[in-house]
Amino acid sequence: MNNYEEKVSENLIELKRKDENNMNKNTIISIIYTITMAIGILVCCICDVAISGTLTWSLITLSSILITWIASFPVILLGKKGVLVAMVAISILILPFMYILSILIKVNEVFNIGAIMSIYTLVFLWIIYILYYRLKERKLLATGITFLFAIPFTLLINITLSKLIGEPVIDVWDILSVFILLIVSVAFIIGDYARKKGFVR
C-alpha cells in the first residue's frame, strides 16, 4: 500500500513539475513574441514618420498587430486553456477594430461589409469551439462536423456578398469547394465511426 501511495505521489510531483516547466517555457515564448510585435510596431512607426512626416499607414499596421497580439497571446501563454480567453477577446474587439480600420482607410464599406463577415466568422468559430469542447474525446467526429458546417457557412458568405457587392452567389470554384468539404467531412466521420467500433486504433 505504501509503495502504491509513493508511486502516486511521485507521478503527481512529476506532472506538477512538467506543468511548471511548460508554463515557464510558454512565458519565455510569450515575452519573445510580445517583444517581436513591439519591435515590428516601432519599425513601422519610424518608417512612416521618416517617409510621411507623421503617422499615416502605420496606424493600420499598429491596430492590426495589436488585435493579433490580443487574440494570440493567451493561447501562446496558456496553451489550450487560453483558447477561450482569446475567443472572448476577439469577440469583443473585432467590431471596434473593423470600425477603426474603416476610419483609418477612409472606406465605409470596410466596416459595413467587414462587420457582417466578422459576425458570421465569430458564430462559426464559437460553434467549432463548443463542438470540440463537447466532443473532446472524439476529435475526428468534431473535425468532420466542422467541415460539414463549413458548407452552409460558405454559402451564407456568398449570398451576403452577392447582396452587398453584386458577386455571383455560386460559381464553379464554390461547387468544387463544397464537394471537397463534403468528401473530407465524410472521411473524418467514417474514421471516427471506425475508431469507435475498434476497426482503427
Give the mean pLDDT of 46-64.
Answer: 84
Question: 31-45, 49-63, 147-161: which range is least confident on average?
Answer: 49-63
pLDDT of residue 28: 86
Give the mean pLDDT of 99-104.
Answer: 87
pTM of the model: 0.73
pLDDT of residue 110: 78
Give the mean pLDDT of 50-72.
Answer: 85
Is residue 109's pLDDT more than 70?
yes
pLDDT of residue 79: 80
151 closest CA partner among 162, 161, 159: 159
Question: 70-79, 115-124, 166-175: which range is least confident on average?
Answer: 166-175
pLDDT of residue 123: 92
